[in-house]
Amino acid sequence: MTPPTAAAVIIGNEVLTAKVRDENGPLLIRRLRDRGIPLRWMATVPDEVPAIAHAVRHARSVADVVFTSGGIGPTHDDVTVEGVSVALGVPVVRLPEIEEVVRRHREGDVSDVVLRLANAPRGATVLEVDGSWFPALGCDRTYMLPGVPELFKLQLEAVLGLMPGVPVVLECLYVSLGEPEIAEALDQVAAAFPDVALGSYPHFKRGLDYRVKLTAEHVDGARVRALVDQLERTLPPGCIVRRERG
């Protein structure tokens, strides 16, 4: 099975105002990468329904599955469920499965405010999460994960467990010339291998033995090797410092 493509929406004024450095986006990037699920787009938006709805709608248009982070608690600034509902064009409803979980967990103290935790876009389903009393919430390929990093991590693993993955093969070539000197060769090779992702990353630090790191990646290792072989033939002679399977 081919893995799905993914997009993500990080929700929170605290991130945009530098009160908290977002760790969920970087974690999501790494874990999707581990599973060979391509991440196509990621946005950070404020705790505002129209901003969330717009971002989720766009994310759903560019990827198969969407992850949101944050804004699903019971306080006034938790408006992710509302934003996702607007994006999906469905009303917010109370989900009996979550209401039951909340009542059990809170042992009776279930004011209206607390029961906001059981709100969900109509059509949402829940997924039990090992190590967490609160389930993960998904609706039509959009997963609403909590912003608290410990909980985000637990729920993310539960959701990823639902998806097929395939590892990506990566090779790196380190070269001693700058980008201007190799750009023409890169153009040629990139045109010959349109299906393989070819990246070029210069650094501007002292004390390294190379000037640009080139990367090639694809699910098919043979395509990656073929591209890097052709790079070795096409780049100016003598500029290759080393080749690495990364």
- Helix H, strand E, coil C: the string for the chain is CCCCCEEEEEECHHHHCCCCCCCHHHHHHHHHHHCCCCEEEEEEECCCHHHHHHHHHHHHHHCCEEEEECCCCCCCCCCHHHHHHHHHCCCEEECHHHHHHHHHHHCCCCCHHHHHHHEEECCCEEECCCCCCCCEEEECCEEEECCCHHHHHHHHHHHHCCCCCCCCEEEEEEECCCHHHHHHHHHHHHHHCCCCEEEEEECCCCCCCCCEEEEEEECCHHHHHHHHHHHHHHCCCCCEEEEEEC
Shortest Å distance, C-beta 76 to its own copies: 4
- Residue 111 as a binder of its own copies (CB under 8 A): the answer is yes
Shortest Å distance, C-beta 27 to its own copies: 10
> Of 4, 35, 200, 219, which one interacts with its own copies (CB under 8 A)?
200
Q: Which is nearer to its own copies, 125 or 208 (CB)?
A: 208
Q: Which stretch binds its own copies (CB under 8 A): 54-62, 90-98, 220-228, 231-239?
A: 54-62
Q: Which is nearer to its own copies, 215 or 230 (CB)?
A: 215
- Residue 244 as a binder of its own copies (CB under 8 A): the answer is no
- Residue 66 as a binder of its own copies (CB under 8 A): the answer is no
The site map against its own copies for 8-47 (x = CB under 8 A) is -----xxxxxxxxxx--xx--xx-xx----xxxxxxxxx-
Which residue ranges make up the site for its own copies (CB under 8 A)? Answer: 13-22, 25-26, 29-30, 32-33, 38-46, 51, 54, 58, 62, 73-77, 106, 109, 111, 113-114, 116-117, 148, 150-151, 168, 170, 179-180, 182-184, 186-187, 190-191, 197-205, 215, 217
